[in-house]
Amino acid sequence: MRIRLRRRGQVRLADLPFEQTIENDSDVGQLARLYLGNILYALELASLSLEEQGKATDAGFYRGIARKLAEAHGASKGR
């Protein structure tokens, strides 16, 4: 297995087995930061699916969660 280094010694997740990424980042907040893009994508897919089912209120709920996560991430970057 080849591990490529990123800035400040971070490894690229695609180069690590999933179990190893969990061991290294067992804190929920760390995992959420690590997979934020994937989480936001999944929330948008859920929203689109709910809209197709005619559940606009539910879709808005999940988009609201995504918006809050994105805003919190942006605010933490600005510190």
The residue among 29, 10, 11 whose CA lies nearest residue 2 is: 11
pTM beyond 0.75? no
Q: How far apart are CA 79 and CA 75, in angstroms?
A: 7
Question: How many residues comprise the chain?
Answer: 79
pLDDT: which is higher, 14 or 74:
74
Q: Give pLDDT, residue 17.
A: 57
Domain ranges of the chain: 1-26, 35-79
Return the percentage of the chain with pLDDT > 70, whole number.
66
Q: What pLDDT, in 10s, does the model give residues 7-34? A: 555 445 555 555 555 555 567 888 888 8
How far is 57 from 7, CA to CA, in rounded Å? 41
